[in-house]
Amino acid sequence: MSTRWKKSPPSPSDPDDTLMSRAEILLVDDDPRLREVVRYALSREGFTVREAANGVEALEALKRAPVDLLVLDVKMPEMDGMELCRQVRRTSEVPIVFLSSKDDELDRVLGLELGGDDYVTKPFSTRELVSRVKAVLRRTRPREAVAEDSEEAVLQVGALRMDQAKHRIHVGGEEVALTVTEFRILQVLMRRPGRVYTRDELADRAYPGRHHVSERTLDSHVRRIRQKMRPHDLDPVETVHGLGYRLRTE
């Protein structure tokens, strides 16, 4: 597959990114030239990068050892990125950053609804991709400033309990698996129960950098949160028509 990309020098390391840069990333793309460029850029930032040429290889690689994040091309032979995402989401909430030559909002929304955390359109600069990867990992990994035994580490609203340090959510003692973005949206709402957030306000807080965030994208993530809570007889997010969302306090 012929792919265009724009090469730029990797951005300087940020001291605040030290913990995140130790993450292990699985890069899945059938273009070996693109993999070489992306691997170089991510490696320069301290990431450990593994590679796969298609979805089938990626699934085998994930069976051998887990990773901290997937960088995943959409259009590939053997198994495309969308199907790989479906397969991965059956057993894992590992963060996923999609790569695609398709610049269509419907494709972006589909990728995010399947459980993707960000979507980068080709051609892209390596600096932009590294920035996106770091942003997703910031949302994934609990900040060291939040101690596991501190009162602020745990949010409790009714039957809904969120451990921010361990990045886990429970309803009535049963754990609910959320993607990184879903967790972040719920986290924002739980910090101020009953407060109405407009979609713009919620996007500002839940999506650092606000890359490709539309109202439709945000609504899709909220819908997935509700779907995952429904088996537990809980509907924690209330739509305030004409305004946005808030966390129910009843």
186 and 169 in contact (C-beta within 8 Å)? yes
Report pTM. 0.56
How far is residue 153's CA from residue 164's CA, in Å, rounded to a whole number? 5
Average pLDDT, the chain: 80
Q: Please provide residue 96's backbone torsions phi and psi, each rounded to the nearest 5 degrees.
A: -130, 125
By the 10 Å C-beta count (0-12 exposed, 13-18 middle, 19+ buried), 141 is classed as: middle
**Alpha-helix runs per DSSP H in 72-214:** 81-89, 105-113, 126-140, 180-191, 199-206
Determine what percent of the chain is predicted with pLDDT higher than 70: 80
Reading the block at residue 131, the tokens are: 């920035």
- Backbone region of residue 150 per phi and psi (left: phi > 0; alpha: psi in -120 to 50; beta: other values): beta
* Structure confidence by residue, pLDDT tens digits, 128-164: 999 989 988 887 664 433 333 444 588 999 899 999 8
What pLDDT band is residue 204 in, cutting at 50, 70 and 90? confident
**Residue-range domains of the chain with CATH:** 15-140 (3.40.50.2300), 151-247 (1.10.10.10)
